[in-house]
A and B are shown apart, each in its own frame.
Chain A
């Protein structure tokens, strides 16, 4: 079908280019037209003079000029009889047009065109029943609804998980925050908001996300989502014992067939594997500390964590051959949003662990994960 249309269009274009060549018009025909044109002009000048729009002196000079051209046109008509080689040129030009036009048009179209792609006007797509389950279509519908009704909190609540599934994490964060603003605070929604924040940060439980989960947990201490992510946060801080503890508590209170349980077990298994006994010993005191920290107010907690990190840094400065310790320190700085210190620690760790290739690979991976190197 489309090729038929293209063929017709090409045909029309070629015809339009060939038309003047195909007509057996002698050049005198063009001159004859010119003669008529100048005659008409002289008539127009006379009309203007009659109406008084053209002074006579001006009209006279205009008439003279038109007459001069009239004569010239007549002369040219006689001179331009049949120029030599005109026939050959005409055939050559016809060939250029006949071959050139389709070849150029089709060549360019073949490079850049997409003949098999149908038109997809939005109205047809939204009303297409075969697409009614399409998540994107649903999202588009809700979006247009929300633009018209920007205060519909439920709309935001509905669209946010859809955004998450589509991978539009920033949009999800925004939608949840709008929903929270419009519907009021609610621990489940707050935890969902935190989850979206984590997704938007590429899986890292940022401070903002942590605050969200904490708020959710304060209102609803049994919120599993909040507890899970807080455990993940502890894990990402490098505070393994606390993470293990929290995961285990989470599992203990779960029905055995809970759909999220396997995920938690997986995390636990992951921790178990990478937890050699040696470093567990080193970490033993901090774990008590961590337990104590959890019971403090946020400000105190901040200072306590800072102190912990400082101690770790001091210890590593004295005794640097501790890959796990370095990784914890770097991660802790990153979580505390102290990029400069994190980078500094990274550099120091590299220097201290010179020669230990496996440890350096781990450091590289960590640096990449935390975005310390661009």
Chain B
């Protein structure tokens, strides 16, 4: 093979791999992007049921119900709007009423959310940043103290 031919082969192979990767990446990206919303944004943006989302806010005190088979339901609130969440499975150690929480799952109907993953904050100093932002947007956040 000539010098030029070799170079072309190399470049050709490289382009194939990169093109393959870009195609794969774009295809995968389409399916795995999950938007984060606060309860108010869901209400305002009129998010359609069936969408896969992350919802963040506070677990509304007095709404946590535990039933058989590790099924739980609770309400995520940003003190302006609420979203009712159902979930089956173990919850993180720090999942409590009145605390920040992020739930990932599917919006089943307006205001009704089925979560398949529950993320909670890691310690008392840390509140999920998305939750803080969502609460700030609603003007419910006080530095240092939470709501």
Contacts and interface: CB of A to CB of B under 8 A. Distances in A.
| Direct A–B contact in complex, judged by CB atoms less than 8 Å apart | yes
Contacts of B139: 374
Interface in B9-49: none
Contacts of A374: 139-140, 142, 147
Nearest to B139: A374
Contacts of B142: 374
Contacts of B147: 374
Interface string A15-45: 0000000000000000000000000000000
B144 to A, nearest CB: 12
Interface string B128-147: 00000000000110100001
Interface string B77-103: 000000000000000000000000000
Interface in A93-114: none
Contacts of B140: 374
Nearest to B141: A374
B55 to A, nearest CB: 22
A337 to B, nearest CB: 10
Nearest to B140: A374
Interface string A357-374: 000000000000000001
A374 B139 CA distance: 8
B138 to A, nearest CB: 11
Interface string B103-147: 000000000000000000000000000000000000110100001
Interface in A323-374: 374
Interface string A217-232: 0000000000000000
A372 to B, nearest CB: 13
A374 B147 CA distance: 9
B101 to A, nearest CB: 21
A26 B89 CA distance: 74
4 contacts: A374-B139, A374-B140, A374-B142, A374-B147
B146 to A, nearest CB: 11
Nearest to B147: A374
Which 4 A-B residue pairs are closest in the complex by CB-CB distance?
Answer: A374-B142, A374-B140, A374-B139, A374-B147
Nearest to A340: B79
B79 to A, nearest CB: 9
Nearest to A339: B79
Nearest to B79: A339
Interface in B49-90: none
A346 B142 CA distance: 21
B80 to A, nearest CB: 11
Nearest to A374: B142
A374 to B, nearest CB: 6
A373 to B, nearest CB: 10
A371 to B, nearest CB: 10
Interface string A140-176: 0000000000000000000000000000000000000
A339 to B, nearest CB: 9
A374 B141 CA distance: 8
Nearest to B145: A374
A208 to B, nearest CB: 13
A268 B136 CA distance: 42
A79 B103 CA distance: 71
A268 B140 CA distance: 37
B61 to A, nearest CB: 10
A10 to B, nearest CB: 38
A374 B142 CA distance: 7
A200 to B, nearest CB: 14
A263 B139 CA distance: 39
A202 B139 CA distance: 23
A96 B142 CA distance: 50
A345 B147 CA distance: 21
A202 to B, nearest CB: 12
A374 B140 CA distance: 7
Nearest to B142: A374
A290 B111 CA distance: 42
A170 B72 CA distance: 29
A355 B140 CA distance: 30
A207 to B, nearest CB: 13
A374 B135 CA distance: 12
A201 to B, nearest CB: 14
A221 B64 CA distance: 37
A139 to B, nearest CB: 20
A374 B146 CA distance: 11
